């Protein structure tokens, strides 16, 4: 049911933890399943994501997609990180079962929330970034299968 990559990232998740004094922190939840995701970003003065960590109280698919998402945004610019959609994460994991697609939204939204926090702290606007929702189940209809 799950690809080898999903199982690998679930059993050996990358970048688990917290960053002290992070440049941006984003927390999102899905009220339907009750799962919660928090992402910490360390962004340098050139706008490059130097480090990223995540913590989750979530299902296996949420763990695997967050692990892959952190790998995909590490070392990237803010604009590049915005391109890391849940679809891109799922492709990198060789897919997810349809009932688990919503789990991949947690990581995307948590990254957006952390970038929003970073922008607010620094008084800047990030082009293309919309104010994140704290409950992602409100916009699950945007999920692309
Ligand atoms: Fe809630 Fe997977 S079931 S994130």
pLDDT at 137: 79
Q: Is the CB of 88 under 6 A from ligand 1?
A: no
Are the C-beta atoms of residues 82 and 115 closer than 8 Å to each other?
A: yes
Ligand 1 atom closest to the Cα of residue 60 is: 2
Distance 5 CA to ligand 1 centre (A): 18
**Under CATH, what is the fold of the domain 4-123?**
Sufe protein. Chain: A (3.90.1010)
Question: What is the sign, positive or negative, of the torsion defined by CA atoms of 103, 138, 43, 79?
Answer: positive
Cα Rg of the chain (Å, integer): 14
Residue in 103, 108, 110, 136 to alter for ligand 1 test, most ligand atoms within 8 A of Cβ? 103
Residue in 27, 28, 59, 97 to alter for ligand 1 test, most ligand atoms within 8 A of Cβ? 59
Domain positions in the chain are 4-123
**Running DSSP on this structure, what letter comes out for residue 139?**
G
Q: Is 33 known to be catalytic?
A: yes
pLDDT at 131: 87
Put simply, whether the predicted model's pTM sits higher than 0.85 gets the answer: yes
One pLDDT digit (tens) per residue for the chain, 145 residues = 899 999 999 999 999 999 999 999 999 999 889 999 999 999 999 999 999 999 999 999 999 999 999 999 999 999 999 999 999 999 999 999 999 998 999 999 999 999 999 999 999 999 999 988 878 876 665 555 4
Among residues 7, 16, 33, 36, the one annotated as catalytic is 33
Q: Is the CB of 61 under 6 A from ligand 1?
A: yes
Are the C-beta atoms of residues 37 and 106 closer than 8 Å to each other?
A: yes
């Amino acid at each position: 049911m799950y690809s080898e990559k999903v199982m690998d990232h679930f059993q050996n998740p990358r970048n688990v933890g917290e960053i002290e004094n992070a440049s941006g922190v984003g927390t999102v939840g899905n009220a339907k399943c009750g799962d919660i995701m928090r992402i910490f970003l360390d962004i340098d003065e050139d706008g490059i994501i130097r480090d990223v960590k995540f913590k989750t109280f979530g299902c296996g698919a949420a763990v695997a997609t967050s692990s892959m998402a952190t790998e995909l945004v590490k070392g990237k610019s803010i604009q590049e990180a915005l391109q890391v959609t849940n679809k891109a994460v799922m492709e990198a994991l060789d897919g997810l079962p349809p009932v688990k697609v919503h789990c991949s939204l947690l990581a995307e939204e948590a990254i957006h929330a952390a970038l929003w926090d970073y922008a607010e702290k620094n008084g800047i606007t990030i082009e293309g970034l919309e104010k994140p929702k704290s409950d992602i189940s409100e916009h699950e209809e945007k999920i692309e299968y």
